[in-house]
Structure 1
Amino acid sequence: MYVIALLGNFTIPCIVMTEPRLHEPMYYFLCMLAVTDLVLVTSILPKTLSIFWFNSREIDFNACLTQMFFIKGFFMTESGLFVAMALDRYVAICHPLRHSAILTDHVVSKLGLAMLLRGSIIVLPYPFLARQWPYCRTNIIPNTHCEHFAVVSLACADIRVSSYYGLFVIFFVTGVDVVFIVLSYFQIIRAIFKLPSKDARLKTFGTCGTHLGAMLAFYIPRLFYSLASRFGENMPLYFHILSANMYLLLPPTLNPIIYGVKTKQIWDRLLWVFTLCGGKVFSWCCGSQTELRADRVPGPLP
């Protein structure tokens, strides 16, 4: 899954940058999403793999807080990017004539930077709160990475502030993102049903189905883990660890597959690249075989 996430999220920006037809707001946001996924999955997977491959189970406390910051920060950044992508689809479908005037390249870059800054500012209290608690019970984190609640649960102090802030972020920050996305798609569906033909409605809705699938794969595992970690005391430990890894690993793995297969422009470009590379490899192999056989042809008999 990590290899798929790396290859997929690295390929999409390369395709968008090299194809002038894809220089549009939707694909710019898709590039930002791919970069965010790369950082998010790389912040946990190398350490996780080193635990299983090399039994490297130690991590410095400051490194643990840094990992926590990157996990939370880029998760919130990705949530904000989904809101920006929903806004892009809303403008493109409900106000198509004004789309290029509203979402200019300058506005798109500002939105991306704003989502990054928002994510960084929101998650700053996580490591600061985790750093101030005294830890005297154990130094073994019951997880493969420094998940916030798994770390602060080791503190021998009242951690309700950390817990309440985590719930605040889930319901009032991520929840607001979800509300904006739902409102955007409500307006989009209303506009789709006003289209004259069934084919036009299906084609327009197809451009939104990709985003909906990616958003569901992003929000549902996260919500499930957050509720299970706080209210699922009777659940086995391995279930908590598995759900914590899946909510961080599934979206970066699925996003390039969903967008690569469902987005015709990206899929066509990807097929063209594979066809070109395959043709060059085939030509090289055939050329090498021809030269080899020519070397073995005996000269004329005396």
Structure 2
Amino acid sequence: MKPKRRWISINIILFTFIISFSISLISREFRYLPMDLEKISTYDNDRVVFQRVEQSTDLARDNSFESLLIIKNRKTYLMMDGYDSPYLANIRKIKIAIQKIYGENENDLIWTNKLNGKPDFVQVMERRIQLMKNANEEFVSTNFGTFYKSIRDKFIKEHVEKFHQLMKNRGESDFYVDTKQLPRPLYLADVVGYKDKYSTIAKARAMDGTTYSCEDTDGDGITETFMADGNDGFSWGYKSGPNLILIYKNTDKDIETLIGKLANEAVYGSVGEEKEMIETFPKERDIDDLVKWLTPKNPNFK
């Protein structure tokens, strides 16, 4: 093969690999939408649900939002952080198209309100009748900020503890763990010393039918995604995700303290599992007796 043809063949192979890898990443990128009180399937049962999404650039959708929904006595209370009015976002999108503004930050010019740890939107409805709606961050965070964060963290913590129980009792919870080696960078300064990274997905099912999953996508040892989906048929809107908890590509440090170790613990075991394993590990004397029993000797032989 001539050098030129060989060079072309190598570049075709590299191009095909890069395109295939990019397509695989795109296929794993979900497009979740903020929950909508108008699209909730039922108001009849009291419940708490939580949604946090941080996704890649998509001009058609908000890529940074957090929602806490409480249904109590057939009233719905929705609080959000990073709320953007779809109507105003669409106007900004039209202006950008007219002015022909392009670039990496194009999405930020459309969906301007980003997550900052302060709820900036509240909506209260009794069935389909709206009782209150306010998108002023100062008003919402002053009146509901402490309540919002407290309920959010307690709710996530309860489900994390439930997931830990399923992890601890893997045999009875259909606990499943899948790890996959991530592709190495094309150019490495230290090929020998490079430590391979692995993505991790763990799934489990509780006795009440709730399914849980957690994921460390980039292999850095930190869980970015945690989901809980109930089986009672409740839906909080088209493409809003699992109906109990959706935490997708989290970067918030407070939430990281709650879910950050889950994928790693799913592979290597939690502190509770390690403690139980140590306590129930066979005693040396018992295994000595087992070895003798498994190796019978003829008593008539000297």
Normalising by the residue count of structure 2, what TM-score does the alignment of the two structures yield?
Answer: 0.28
Larger Rg over CA atoms: 2
User: Which protein, 1 or 2, shows the higher relative CO under an 8 Å CA cutoff with sep ≥ 6?
Assistant: 1
Specify which structure has the higher proportion of helix. 1
Give the TM-score, by structure 1 length: 0.28
